[in-house]
Chains A and B, each alone.
Chain A
């Protein structure tokens, strides 16, 4: 799902890093967001609505809408559309509203 040839843009990708998403190893490039890396790996369901547990994906991609909240290194409710990937991150889908403590 990555774009390699583009008539206007030239994507200079930085260092390749790996992280885990629900125990599965995923690759991403430094400087890109977790959401972009997950999308590139074909993962579109990012969270579930808290009452009816309906699947939710990326909607705004710039930190406005809270549709992509996930648990990152144990911290709940991280907006993964603005959080950058780093080597060794442990990312999980969260249940409900997430534990704050």
Chain B
């Protein structure tokens, strides 16, 4: 059994920021990640981020990952375990993981779960054909390994991921035939939408996929117009000659470990599914277990980073570590979250979170100091 002060599960934007903050307050941190490289999905984000300077706005995603990793590299009290998959969190707080074909048990004093989210699929005939990917998978292939997914793409979903990945496909020299969006309006930022439109990609709102065709892999697809009840209208079909379909219809939190740990969970549609109930310090209903990033509710990398700092601070404070002017720092972080969730796009998120926040004794851990 390995003793650990703060265990951070997942080395994406949320986990890395949690580790930085907790370590800055003096605690010893172990980050475990199932991958060989840290940074989570930041490493394949070639676009510049929005938000404010504090969340590295105007910096490309992969550069943000490097900035955070450099910071951690210089901290003596942060350890990293790569290629380590957490298998379980037990009732007595023991965490087990698989590392290099070995089964390891560790006993942390506090845990930050920052496991992220996975891509949702969509039901339509032949949706399992090779050539039909999650939009993030295509990002991984193109931007991490420099491999094209195919030649002609149909993108399903005009949220930010759908729009950004479409743009990245064009940058990689792949043709995007169309973006279809079932909702009557584009979900992502209009800056991204106009960018792909300028490059000649039609964005069809009120349209969805009807069926995919192919024998060994995808050969074509049919899209159709939806009525006000989101049902396809016969006679409006259009056939597209595509060998790739990207599905970007949202993410759902990778929350298995939270269920297992006994966290109280609540279904919040706006946040992507079942998410952990928590207080404003991101302390879950399980004492000593904190959450940050997409696993706590699907948002964006910018808010995941801010949540990471908050969860890291709360976990360290829970163990008695202090930070000069902690109250002010926390207030600033809360304000950053508020401004990221400002406006019509953030309204959904704000509504979701207001249904989720609890007050419990442990909530006092930061504020009491």
Query: Which A residues have a C-beta under 8 Å from some C-beta of B?
Result: 1-9, 11, 13, 32-33, 35-36, 39-40, 44-46, 49, 54-65, 67, 81-82, 84
Contact = CB atoms under 8 A, between A and B. Distances in A.
Nearest to B138: A61
Given A1-B150, A3-B146, A57-B217, 18 more contacts: A2-B148, A3-B148, A8-B60, A11-B145, A39-B141, A39-B147, A39-B149, A40-B145, A44-B130, A45-B130, A55-B129, A57-B132, A59-B119, A59-B121, A59-B132, A60-B118, A60-B134, A62-B136
A13 B130 contact: no
Contacts of A82: 34-35
Contacts of A54: 128
B131 A57 contact: yes
Contacts of B172: 3, 6
B137 A9 contact: no
Interface of B: 34-36, 46, 60, 118-119, 121, 128-134, 136-138, 140-150, 171-173, 216-217, 254
A58 B148 contact: no
Given A60-B119, A60-B137, A62-B137, A33 B145 contact: yes
Secondary structure of the A contact surface, majority rule: loop
A54 B128 CA distance: 8
Nearest to A5: B173
A39 to B, nearest CB: 5
A58 B130 contact: yes
B192 to A, nearest CB: 15
25 contacts: A1-B150, A2-B148, A3-B146, A4-B146, A6-B146, A8-B60, A11-B145, A35-B141, A36-B141, A39-B147, A54-B128, A55-B130, A55-B217, A57-B131, A57-B133, A57-B217, A59-B132, A59-B133, A59-B134, A59-B137, A61-B134, A61-B136, A61-B141, A62-B136, A62-B140
Nearest to B36: A84
Contact of A2 (B138, B147, B254): B147
Contact of B145 (A7, A36, A55, A60): A36
- 7 smallest A-B Cβ distances: which pairs? A57-B130, A61-B137, A36-B145, A11-B146, A44-B130, A61-B140, A64-B118
A4, A9, A36, A49 pick with most chain B CB within 10 angstroms? A9
Contacts of B147: 1-3, 36, 39-40
